[in-house]
Amino acid sequence: MADTLFRAAEAEAEAALAERNRVHENVSVADLLGNAPEWQERAHCSQTDPEAFFPEKGGSTRMAKRICKRCEVKDECLEYALVHDERFGIWGGMSERERRKMKHGM
């Protein structure tokens, strides 16, 4: 019984990891830059660690937000995320939760 539970937990952990990796592959800062050529060259995150912009659940967003704060295309980036309903990561200095609140006027 314990062995079965262990295998189920292991499979669940593997699935969660695969999902996280899929998100990173599909929604990356590179993707952000690739879809927004007019401001890509001025994005501060293009010269930083993309992982900081897609922290694991519960992970710190402080470093990414600090970089965004000084980014000259912050407004364009945030608008892009809102228009494209980006669900993951830090965009324009805001987390997904902050963007959701903003979108729903809370």
> In the complex, which residues of this chain contact ligand SF4 (CB under 6 A)?
43-45, 53, 67-68, 71, 73-74, 77, 90-93
The least distance separating ligand SF4 from the CB of residue 70, rounded to whole angstroms, comes to 8
Indicate the residue among 27 and 67 with the shorter CB distance to ligand SF4. Answer: 67
The least distance separating ligand SF4 from the CB of residue 65, rounded to whole angstroms, comes to 8
Q: Residue 85, by phi and psi: left (phi above 0), alpha (psi -120 to 50) or beta?
A: left
Assess contact for 43 and 73: CB atoms under 8 A.
yes
